[in-house]
Structure 1
Amino acid sequence: MEYYDLIIVGAGPAGSTLAHALKDSGKRILIIDKQDFPRDKTCAGWVTPAVMETLRIDLDDYGNSRTLQPIRRFRIGMMGQPAVENDHGDIVSYGIRRCEFDAYLLDRVEAPKQLSTPVRSIVRKGANWIVNDTWEAPLIVGAGGHFCPVARLLGEGPGSHETVVAAKEVEFEMTPEQAATCQARGDTPELWFCRDLKGYAWVFRKGNYLNIGLGREDNHKLTAHLQAFVDEMKATGRIPPDLPGRFKGHAYLLYAHAERPLLDDGIMLIGDSAGLAYTQSGEGIRPAIESALMAADVIEHAPDYSASALQIYGDAIAERFGNRAGDTEQGWQVPDWVKTPLASALMRSHWFTRKVVTEKWFLHQEIPPVSLAV
């Protein structure tokens, strides 16, 4: 049996950020992931300057051999009607490829890694957790996404009425012929809202790479909505007529409607494992990074790993992201006040699509970066 102070299950942005933040803590850390890296990760893939600042990523170094698409504009519309295009002037976000971004963050981790290693068992023995009958630690952190095995130890919370968003998307490198016919521009991601406002689709070009996808709260209608959107984008020339490969699916919880517990004795959840995706956009990279830094601060200074000692983390999450709504406010991203007969007009407004949809819901420009250091 190999003993550690902390086992992190999941080597994505949340898990790697946590391990990196604790590199000087003196704690023995093991990070486990079922996949090898670089990995093929389904994600639209854009991060705000706040994320890059928080992670202290040198943009010149990162962009030297990796995709880093500056974003200055957004094109937003409701399906079936013309889109509105807004120019923000400055760079407001960056397009990245998750296979590169995640590998970059994990490469910074100095702690031992067990990749290509599915977690088959997690057993409580006294005050410790034993993983796969091989590794033992008093604290285990779930960072493995929506279906993280550590999250299953805590259950789904009271009521189990969580709103799960399902998404399907594809990312591929375009041929010269495809790139020539694709009208989508790299500095201008496109967001297209479903007419019932229960989800949205996107077209995001990153150099020669193109990402297309759609997410909704009712996954039984997901494929039909996606096909209708793809057909519309092809007909208008926004995307090439020939798309290679198949669309891959994934799921996540929205913060305001998640009921999943965050911690218990010797256990914590961060990132998508904890259901921290922003409620209005479904974006999860920034909450994953910030939750990892909050968890690192608590882990480094907690007197022990009891639930009462770790509750400081739960309090920090609530202070940063707000209290969860619970059963009284079920629904998806868009607030009820938008779901009115005026919705179509709002999505044609330059002020609304810029100030509310882009800057507030998707970029969260009013929220400063976390003050904790990586």
Structure 2
Amino acid sequence: MYDITIIGAGPAGANLARLIGDKYKVLLIDKRDLENHNPNQSICKCCGGLLAPDAQKMIAKLGLGIPKDILVNPQLFAVRTIDLNNNLERLYQRFYYNMDREKFDRWMVSLIPNAVDKSFNSLFNGFNKISDGYEIRYIHKGQELRAKTRIIIGADGASSKLRKLISKDVNTPEKYISIQEWYKCTDPMPYYTGVFDEEITDFYSWLIPKDNYIILGSALRPRDNTREKYELLKRKLTRLGFSFDSKVKTEGAFIYRTKKLSQFYLGAEGITLIGEAAGAISPSSAEGISYALKSSLYLAQSLEYGINGYFDRYKNMVKGIKFNLLLKNLKSPAMYNPLIRRLAMKSGFSSIK
């Protein structure tokens, strides 16, 4: 009988397990193997691998320091903004840690206390209510296993099965599909590039250098000719001088875009959501690591006083996240309305000459 079962071992789930693993009997489940490195592992997190300033602040608040072997070249101090709708371009000073996302997740898992039971290569399959909590079902090496737990925590991202099971009457954030392709690049650019083009997507696309590679990614609406839109993006950028000849691999994943506060959903007493599973992700930039770390910290703090009443304490603590999501939504028009974006970029305000 576990006190707490956590579904998902990304930054939200791993951080929660790290913080509560010595206080409670915890089971952590993830479909990836985040302990034993397997170069042939087919499941990977589709992520640009940039640690934004808000996430850096949370890492500092947690008293952690990132090992240097997680970082990749080059470290980034500028964002190149390309507006294809208005035929404009600007460079803005921003500070990002450029990192290997899989190594980052493995590092977070390595910090979890040994007392936590970890079941990797496991797929959460559902749950039943029982008298003293829940019985969860998960598939491990082709076999369905069961475990009893007092509460279940969903940290399984935008494709959260747990959220789907419990939120039938709740608004779901808008879902996008993130497509990334990796290309060999002998002379990587020294900045992160954001690309805006309404013909491609009402969100944005990106180019990120990673050692001897460059990543081209885009957040696209599902079932809206996503592959055709992605190929159109490549053709447009090729005309600007980019080269996409030596493709190494393709990645894809769903991401949330929380445009309404009603889409930010924490679950309930006994079955609770953190990180992107709750809809905690920036609607302007799709940055999610800071929210993952923050929401898992708040839940851990709410559990310091025991399991009874933890959910009300958690709801109270995340009010700051809700307010931040509201501010990000107010910021979005300046980025995604072509007219407002044109005026902002033409002004040159805060840009690097």
Residue 50 of structure 1 corresponds to 57
Residue 149 of structure 1 corresponds to 161
Indicate the SS of the match to 1:351. coil
> Shift of the alpha carbon at 1:66?
4.7
Among 154, 172, 180, the alignment partner of 1:169 is: 180
Judged with a 3 Å threshold, the aligned counterparts in structure 2 of structure 1 residues 65 and 141 are, in CA distance, closer, same or farther, namely closer
- Whichever structure has more strand as a proportion of its residues is 2
Q: Is the 1:146–1:253 Cα contact (8 Å) retained in structure 2?
A: no
Judged with a 3 Å threshold, the aligned counterparts in structure 2 of structure 1 residues 202 and 118 are, in CA distance, closer, same or farther, namely same
Runs of 4+ aligned structure 1 residues displaced above 6 Å come to none
> Shift of the alpha carbon at 1:210?
2.1
Indicate the SS of the match to 1:83. strand
Q: Distance in 2 between matches of 1:143 and 1:78?
A: 34
> Shift of the alpha carbon at 1:164?
1.9
Q: Distance in 2 between matches of 1:41 and 1:260?
A: 22
Residue 179 of structure 1 corresponds to 186
Among 97, 102, 108, the alignment partner of 2:100 is: 97
Structure 2 unpaired stretches of 5+: 38-42, 138-144
Q: Distance in 1 between matches of 2:285 and 2:71?
A: 25
Among 228, 232, 244, the alignment partner of 2:236 is: 232
Residue 296 of structure 1 corresponds to 300
Matched ranges for 1:103-118 at <5 A = 103-110=106-113, 111-118=116-123
Q: Is the 1:122–1:129 Cα contact (8 Å) retained in structure 2?
A: yes
- 2:131 maps to a residue whose letter is G
- 2:148 maps to a residue whose letter is E
**What is the RMSD computed on CA atoms of the aligned residues?**
2.8
Q: Is the 2:12–2:293 Cα contact (8 Å) retained in structure 1?
A: yes
- 2:68 maps to a residue whose letter is G
How many residues are treated as equivalent by the alignment?
329
> Shift of the alpha carbon at 1:324?
7.0
Are residues 1:28 and 2:25 paired?
yes
- 1:86 maps to a residue whose letter is Y
Indicate the SS of the match to 1:238. coil
Residue 314 of structure 2 corresponds to 313
Judged with a 3 Å threshold, the aligned counterparts in structure 2 of structure 1 residues 68 and 22 are, in CA distance, closer, same or farther, namely farther
Residue 124 of structure 1 corresponds to 129
Q: String of CA shifts for 1:186-245, please: whole Å, max 9, x gaps.
A: 4x1000112367111100002223221011356514333321221222333334433233
Are residues 1:83 and 2:81 paired?
no
Structure 1 unpaired stretches of 5+: 326-330, 355-374
Q: Distance in 2 between matches of 1:242 and 1:333?
A: 37
Q: Is the 2:261–2:322 Cα contact (8 Å) retained in structure 1?
A: no
Q: Distance in 1 between matches of 2:6 and 2:108?
A: 15
Q: Distance in 1 between matches of 2:72 and 2:151?
A: 36
Judged with a 3 Å threshold, the aligned counterparts in structure 2 of structure 1 residues 57 and 350 are, in CA distance, closer, same or farther, namely farther
Q: Distance in 2 between matches of 1:141 and 1:30?
A: 10
Indicate the SS of the match to 2:158. coil
> Shift of the alpha carbon at 1:333?
7.6
- 1:203 maps to a residue whose letter is L
Judged with a 3 Å threshold, the aligned counterparts in structure 2 of structure 1 residues 218 and 35 are, in CA distance, closer, same or farther, namely closer
> Shift of the alpha carbon at 1:264?
1.3
Among 285, 289, 304, the alignment partner of 2:289 is: 285
Q: Is the 2:177–2:252 Cα contact (8 Å) retained in structure 1?
A: no
- 1:72 maps to a residue whose letter is F
Could you state the TM-score of these two structures normalised by the residue count of structure 1? Answer: 0.79
> Shift of the alpha carbon at 1:31?
0.4
Identity %: 19
Are residues 1:204 and 2:208 paired?
yes
- Range that drifts further, 338-347 or 5-14: 338-347
- 1:22 maps to a residue whose letter is I
Q: String of CA shifts for 1:236-271, please: whole Å, max 9, x gaps.
A: 333443323335242324263552531213111001
